[in-house]
Structure 1
Amino acid sequence: MTSKTLGICIAGEGAMGASHARVLSSLPGVRLAAVVAGEAGAGRAFADKWRIPFHTLSFDEAIARPDVDAVVVATPSGMHADHAAAAARAGKHVLIEIPVALSLADSERLAQTQRDTGVTMMACHSRRFGPPHRHLRDRMRAGDFKLYHLVVETYFMRRTNLNMLGQPRSWVDNLLWHHACHSVDLAAWLLGDADFASYAQAGPDHPELGIPMDMSIAMRSRRDGTLVTMALSFNNEGPFGGFYRYIGEQGTFHAWRDELKDAQGNAVPLAGNAFELQDREFVDAIAQGRTPECDIHSVVPSMRLLDALQRSIDAQRR
């Protein structure tokens, strides 16, 4: 693969598909070869915008193409596991948008599929690539930042079924398996350990969408007692996104997107963009024939935590 341009298919013409197209189209040695869309007109417009020569409504048709070497799975969340497995079985490398699956069983199935096929299979757990989180993790590993409590606030307004661009969705987002997944995985990655005592509570389901709109999660590391507290809402009017407060022995830090500030509001100098670093890692791992950071096996422990949290919520509702 080192001497060949990598042909990539973007599966999904929504907001995340566009984010991947923007990054991947700028990388050397990469060619956007195809897009799989859920609607013909949207697929045509997406292909025109990103100068992609082929668009289709058929995922199977796209992954059968010889000019497609890898697939970015940015289809609706409930399709991620089946699409990623099909692409891998077709011999294509796979980058899977978060969540890789909506169950632990499907996550473990993907890990087994990777073992069986040997393709590169990477998850878009983009917090791992965020400069603020990498900076503090490096400090934790060096022994000059002791984390006591990670406090996470995740806020969106999803009372109507729209995506991040304000466009109608054909599927319903998931507060636990998608949005909490970012932070559950981040906590395990920061500590290098997924052994947490955990507990979750969910608010009432939305009468039309059928999902809980608010959630609280508490986790405690069984190894060193580090606490992780999460508040998540699809009822919040803004600002939107994930906000992280790192409370430690050597200070308190606030992370948002690619920015990090100390308790006095002073910016910590950082470089890089999480999404670009993530997609570049996928391309580089393929070119170099190595296992990428955030490969499918590394995220399965986080999916086990999510499964435990789901069971905690289900037990309260019975």
Structure 2
Amino acid sequence: MHPRIAVVGCGQWGQNHVRTLAEIGALAAVADRSFERADLFAERHGVKAMDTDEAIASPDIDALVLALPASMHGPTARAAFAAGKDVLIEKPIALDIADAELTAAVAKKTERLLMVGHVLRFHPVFQKLCTTVAEGRIGTVRHIIANRMGLGRFLGMDVVWDLAPHDLSMILKLANAMPRQIEATRRTVLSDATDIADISLEFPGGLQAEVHVSRVSPYRDRRFSVIGTTGMLVFDDLAPEGEKLALYGHKVWRDGPNFSFENAPVTYLPVCPGLPLDRELRHFIDCVAHRRPPETGAAEAVETVRILNAASPLGPAVA
């Protein structure tokens, strides 16, 4: 039997949680600042409509999914932990490091599960990429390049906070460490906040990564490239099915005082089908049911907020 889960926040992304949990059979209730909105989704899926406090206090709810404005994540999650609930919090879990650390500390003190909704960590292509790296098919990872570019969304949050968490989460997974150096360049172009940003990360051991995000690009780009000593992998989320994960066996080697290189034809790696959000929520359900630590837990949630603050120190809504 699935844990009984309530979704708090039925906005643009919260609706996806509601629908997916209903399909899985784990949705028990919905809550929203607008009771009319909560009632609409509750009726649609045959569950209870509650306000947030009721969902937190209800003995009929085992866990919560929070899809709220980021400023409300911390206080709501901490109240839920105190009431004995496990919580999945949409990214980012907070807007400053102190709030994020407090939420993580309360989860630990109350022995509750804290999972952050870094949904691309559960993308089957990214998971296959991680497996391929672990198998040593591209040697030692030396550099990662993440591009997340397109036109829109102007939601009162700058592009660093809106788009960069996706790729930062994937980079942290592959690095298996926290960056020791963070540098960022931000530009305001067409709005009142940061529209374009370049973030550079350096990790212990020499691994480097760069994240390029833009919401004023005339074209879309969703590529995540991993460069190793004996090959390269590219996760292109906009590529056709069957071509989303490319392996390049390119080689570079020292040739006397110089370097030589050899191009290799691309190989597209097969990937099992699956929807990232469905995988993420099933993972959360499994963690709640079997008391297992989540793949995207408190340490990663806090570190992501730390990087975001370093990259955009004036806050998410300021250039």
Compared with structure 1, are the counterparts of its residues 70 and 158 closer, same or farther at alpha carbon in structure 2 (3 Å cutoff)?
same
* 3-state SS of paired residue (2:6): strand
- Decide which of 226, 229, 249 is 1:246's aligned counterpart: 226
Q: Give the alignment of 1:269-284 within 5 angstroms.
A: 269-271=270-272, 272-284=274-286
* Structure-2 residue corresponding to 1:166: none
Q: Give the alignment of 1:1-318 within 5 angstroms.
A: 5-27=2-24, 30=26, 32-52=27-47, 54-56=48-50, 58-145=51-138, 146-158=140-152, 160-161=154-155, 172-204=156-188, 207=191, 210-223=192-205, 225-239=206-220, 242-257=222-237, 259-262=244-247, 266-271=267-272, 272-311=274-313
Looking at structure 1, the residues matched to 151 and 38 of structure 2 have their Cα atoms a distance apart, in angstroms, of: 27
* 3-state SS of paired residue (2:76): helix
1:204/1:214 contact within 8 Å kept = yes
* 3-state SS of paired residue (2:220): coil
1:159/1:235 contact within 8 Å kept = no
Q: Which structure has the greater CA radius of gyration?
A: 2
Looking at structure 2, the residues matched to 86 and 104 of structure 1 have their Cα atoms a distance apart, in angstroms, of: 19
2:92/2:301 contact within 8 Å kept = no
Looking at structure 1, the residues matched to 137 and 232 of structure 2 have their Cα atoms a distance apart, in angstroms, of: 13
Q: What letter corresponds to residue 6 of structure 1 in structure 2?
A: P
* 3-state SS of paired residue (1:231): strand
* 3-state SS of paired residue (1:306): helix
Of stretches 301-310 and 123-132 in structure 1, the one that deviates more from structure 2 is 301-310
CA RMSD, 1 decimal: 2.6
Looking at structure 2, the residues matched to 132 and 159 of structure 1 have their Cα atoms a distance apart, in angstroms, of: 25
Compared with structure 1, are the counterparts of its residues 83 and 237 closer, same or farther at alpha carbon in structure 2 (3 Å cutoff)?
farther
Deviation of 1:283 (Å): 0.5
* 3-state SS of paired residue (1:211): coil
Looking at structure 2, the residues matched to 5 and 148 of structure 1 have their Cα atoms a distance apart, in angstroms, of: 41
Which blocks of at least 5 consecutive residues in structure 1 are unaligned? 162-171
Of stretches 280-289 and 189-198 in structure 1, the one that deviates more from structure 2 is 189-198
2:10/2:18 contact within 8 Å kept = no
Q: Deviations over 1:83-115 (max 9, x none)?
A: 211211221110011111111111101110111
Looking at structure 2, the residues matched to 44 and 222 of structure 1 have their Cα atoms a distance apart, in angstroms, of: 50
Which blocks of at least 5 consecutive residues in structure 2 are unaligned? 249-264
Q: Deviations over 1:9-68 (max 9, x none)?
A: 11111222122123222325x2x222112334332332233332x224x31122122211
Compared with structure 1, are the counterparts of its residues 75 and 302 closer, same or farther at alpha carbon in structure 2 (3 Å cutoff)?
closer
- The two structures have a TM-score, normalised by structure 2, of 0.82
Q: What letter corresponds to residue 193 of structure 2 in structure 1?
A: I
Looking at structure 1, the residues matched to 120 and 180 of structure 2 have their Cα atoms a distance apart, in angstroms, of: 19
- The two structures have a TM-score, normalised by structure 1, of 0.82
Deviation of 1:297 (Å): 2.8
Of stretches 130-139 and 227-236 in structure 1, the one that deviates more from structure 2 is 130-139
Compared with structure 1, are the counterparts of its residues 38 and 266 closer, same or farther at alpha carbon in structure 2 (3 Å cutoff)?
farther
Q: What letter corresponds to residue 227 of structure 2 in structure 1?
A: I
Q: Deviations over 1:175-229 (max 9, x none)?
A: 223421222222121021113322101112765xx42111111122231x22211
Looking at structure 2, the residues matched to 126 and 11 of structure 1 have their Cα atoms a distance apart, in angstroms, of: 17
Deviation of 1:72 (Å): 0.3
Compared with structure 1, are the counterparts of its residues 299 and 160 closer, same or farther at alpha carbon in structure 2 (3 Å cutoff)?
closer
Give the aligned length.
294
